[in-house]
Structure 1
Amino acid sequence: MSYLGFLMLFSYVILVKMEDQPSVKEWLVIAYIISTAIEKTREVLMSEPRKLRQKLKIWFSEYWNISDFVAILLFLAGLSMRLHGDPYRTAGRTAYCLDIIFWFIRVLDLLAVNQHAGPYITMITKMVSSDHFFL
């Protein structure tokens, strides 16, 4: 439920006019994504292999981890552009718009656990990943 609340708040931040300084709602989105980044870093560091290179190789072998990594990097890039001022604010907002796509795709992973929707979500995920070359 909190993830859906995050998605609604992030959508609101993107749809409403951005001011010069981030609003309280945008700071909440920033805090959520930074805490997610910290959690993903902890997840990598606490994994089984001893060497960092092997930990990263195993972690990046899963599609959802790659998607999360790209979403976090794209958000941080958009945030840095957005905070730099007027000429970059539009590019930052565009990065936010592209970034929310990754966060909405993450819902597919959450729905994959559902008994009825799970097999369909798995089929959709495989179809989308095989269509990357076409897109």
Structure 2
Amino acid sequence: MKKGLLTAAIISISCSSTVFAASCDDTRLHGYMENIKDEMRSMSSDVKSGDNESAAKRANTLITYFEKARSETPYKFTAENLQGNELKDQKAEFTKVVDDTIVVLKDLETALKSGNSSEVKKLLGAMGNQRKTGHSSFKANC
């Protein structure tokens, strides 16, 4: 009887921890961020190869993903059980970071189309800073 109970408890804990771990990656926001990561890598390759036209199209695609991500709620807010004003404030900060990123991407698209390589380099650095800000503030550790 005790072995059966122990086995059931272990299976139960294993299944529940799997469910919790999977929920972090099963959000629309996570999906958008995966797409953004892939597009950023491709855009970086385009810039390195000198294909600014393709890179500008990717910047436009990235803007679309960020616009979609803007309306999502980071999993971290749910995991930390944010409510009330704290949730409202964090959502506003998330929206601000996304909006600021969109501005950088629009500027990057313009720089790519005009062939301004020094501006492109500066704006790619700004994108890196936006990434660090977003991940340090809103990415859950799961």
> In the alignment, is residue 22 of structure 1 matched against residue 53 of structure 2?
yes
Using the TM superposition, give the Cα deviation of residue 95 of structure 1 relative to its aligned residue in structure 2, in angstroms.
0.5
Matches within 5 A, 1:10-89: 10-14=40-44, 17-23=48-54, 27-37=57-67, 40=70, 62-85=92-115, 88-89=116-117
CA–CA separation in structure 2 for the residues paired with 1:84 and 1:26: 10
What percentage of residue pairs aligned between the two structures are identical? Answer: 8
CA–CA separation in structure 2 for the residues paired with 1:63 and 1:91: 27
Identify if the C-alpha distance between structure 1 residues 80 and 111 changes in structure 2 by more than 3 Å, giving closer, same or farther: same
What's the secondary structure of 2:60's corresponding residue?
A: helix
1:96 paired residue among 115, 124, 127: 124
Using the TM superposition, give the Cα deviation of residue 28 of structure 1 relative to its aligned residue in structure 2, in angstroms.
3.9
CA–CA separation in structure 2 for the residues paired with 1:74 and 1:32: 11
TM-score between both structures, scaled by the size of structure 2: 0.48
* 8 Å contact kept, 1:81–1:89: yes
TM-superposition CA deviations, 1:67-123 (whole Å, max 9, x none)? 1111110111111012112xx2221232022113213432341316x4xxxxxxxxx
TM-score between both structures, scaled by the size of structure 1: 0.50
Structure number having the greater helix percentage:
2
CA–CA separation in structure 1 for the residues paired with 2:48 and 2:66: 25
Using the TM superposition, give the Cα deviation of residue 62 of structure 1 relative to its aligned residue in structure 2, in angstroms.
2.1
How many pairs are equivalent?
95
Q: Give 1 or 2 for the bigger CA radius of gyration.
A: 2
Gaps of 5+ in 1: 44-57, 115-135
> Which 4+ runs in 1 deviate beyond 6 A?
58-61
Gaps of 5+ in 2: 1-29, 73-87
Compute the RMSD of aligned alpha carbons. Answer: 3.4
Between 1:74-83 and 1:29-38, the stretch displaced more is 29-38
Aligned to 2:15: none
